[in-house]
Amino acid sequence: MDVAAYQHPHGAGIDWQSVAHTGIQFAAVKATEGTYYKNPYALGDLARARAAGLSVMAYAFAVPNGNGGASSPAAQANYLVNYLSSAGGRLPPIMLDIEYNPYGAECYGLSPAAMVSWITGFSNAIQARTGEDPVVYGPVPWWQQCTGGASQFRQSPLWVPDYTSAPRPELTSGWKNWAFWQYSSRGVVTGIPARGNTDLDLLNPGVIPLLDSGSQTVAAGDPVDLHVESADPVAGQTLSFSATGLPAGAAIDGSGHVTGAPQLAGRYTATVRATGRGGRSGSVSFPWTVKGSGPAAGPAGTVELGRTGMCLTAGPGPAAVVISVCSGQPDQAWTLPPGPMTSQISGLCLSDGGGQAVDLQGCDGMAAQSWLAEPDGTVRVDGQCLDVPGSATAAGSPVVLRSCDGTSAQLWNLTRTSGG
Report the catalytic residues.
Answer: 2, 97, 99
- Class of residue 328 by CB neighbours under 10 A (exposed 0-12, middle 13-18, buried 19+): exposed
Distance CA 291, CA 2 (A): 42
Q: Which of these, 9, 48, 46, lies nearest to 192 by C-alpha position? A: 9
Tell me how far CA of residue 152 lies from CA of 120, 149, 177, 271, 346, in angstroms.
Answer: 9, 9, 14, 17, 42
Residue 54 near residue 21, CB atoms below 8 Å: no
Q: Are 367 and 245 in contact (CB under 8 A)?
A: yes
Question: Over 137-197, what HEC string results?
Answer: ECCHHHHHHHHCCCCCCCCCCEEEECCCCCCCCCCCCCCCCCCEEEEEEEECCCCCCCCCC
Q: Around Cβ 308, how many Cβ atoms within 10 Å?
A: 18
DSSP 3-state of 363: coil
Q: Using CA atoms, how far apart are residues 100 and 81, in angstroms rounded to an integer?
A: 23
Among 55, 97, 16, CA closest to 209 = 55
Strands 55-61 and 37-38: unpaired
Beta-carbon contacts of 41 under 8 Å, excluding residues fewer than 6 positions away, are 5, 8, 13, 14
Strands 135-137 and 94-97: parallel
Q: Which of 7, 31, 256, 284 is nearest to 158 (CA)?
A: 284
Cα 276 to Cα 36: distance, rounded to the nearest angstrom: 40
Do 115 and 153 contact (CB within 8 A), yes or no? Answer: no
DSSP tag of 380: E
* First-last CA distance in the chain: 65
The DSSP call for residue 40 is T
Listing DSSP states for 244-263 in one string gives: ESPPTTEEE-TTSEEEE---
